[in-house]
Amino acid sequence: MPQENSAAKVLYHLKHDILTGFFGAGHKLKMSVLKARYNVGVNPLREALSQLVVMQLVQVQDQRGYRVCPVTRVELIDIYHTRAQIESLCVGLAIQRGDEAWEADIVAAAYRLHSNAGLLQADGDLQAWEQLHQQFHYSIVIGCGSEELLRVRLNLYEKASRYRNLWLTHNAGHAAFDVNQMEHEQLVSAVLARDLEVAQKLISQHILVPSRVLQELI
């Protein structure tokens, strides 16, 4: 396999492992462990790690290799408040521009998310639920019709993933998930009713409330 393909492959998998918490905040990334896990050589690993440094997911430590970036309250607040602004903008534009097919996709994504609520139990597959959760929110914002805005949104969504997974882990099986599901239903109702003001308020609250809980965990 060409080196560039190997680097792209390991970048994808290592990034996923960091975002989902397999390699937690502050974890030392040993070359020997990474080589064995991803079945690649040192050069593709270094290239992938360099890109993750640019993405601010990995730190370089002088003479001590690489380490997953820590999670901090300052970063948490910055990411979540910026996310709330961007997501609200996407939702507003989607309500203005979305068509009937867009509405149907939202209903379908909401149904899949609701029907798999059992994944939220303490022994459930939280990552499977998170994937459905991501698809649900994307079904709404895709209606905004702006590729540039969606790229900015995706970058923020990924940066928030480590914090979101921390919230998921600490709230699995708790009442917080019931509230979360109710918020989804309210959001769908507002979006389908084309109530821009209410929908933007709901999505902003939906993003910011967990961030306040997370501040107590960091």
Domains of the chain: residue spans and CATH? 3-68 (1.10.10.10), 73-214 (1.20.120.530)
Alpha-carbon gap, residue 112 to 109, rounded angstroms: 5
Alpha-carbon gap, residue 80 to 182, rounded angstroms: 20
Neighbours of 36 (CB within 10 A): 10
- Of the ranges 47-56, 103-112, 128-137, 164-173, which one carries the lowest mean pLDDT score? 164-173
Question: Could you read off the pLDDT of 126-155 as tens digits, one per residue?
Answer: 788 889 999 999 999 999 999 999 999 999
Q: Which residues contact 10 (CB under 8 A, 6 or more apart)?
A: 34, 38, 40, 44, 45, 48
Alpha-carbon gap, residue 55 to 78, rounded angstroms: 16
Assign 3-class secondary structure to 40-89: CCHHHHHHHHHHHHHCCCEEEECCCEEEECCCCHHHHHHHHHHHHHHHHH
Alpha-carbon gap, residue 20 to 155, rounded angstroms: 15
Please name which of 143, 97, 133, 145 lies closest in space to residue 210, comparing C-alpha atoms. 133
Alpha-carbon gap, residue 175 to 208, rounded angstroms: 17
Do 91 and 141 form a contact (C-beta atoms < 8 A)? yes
pLDDT for 121 equals 67
The structure tokens 């640019």 sit at: 54
Amino acid at 170: H
As a whole number, the mean pLDDT across the chain is 90
pLDDT for 173 equals 58
| Token pair belonging to 49 | 């790690």
Question: Could you read off the pLDDT of 16-65 as tens digits, one per residue?
Answer: 999 988 999 999 999 999 999 999 999 999 999 999 999 999 999 877 79
Output phi, psi for 60, to 5 deg.
-100, 130
Do 80 and 46 form a contact (C-beta atoms < 8 A)? no
The structure tokens 């939906």 sit at: 206
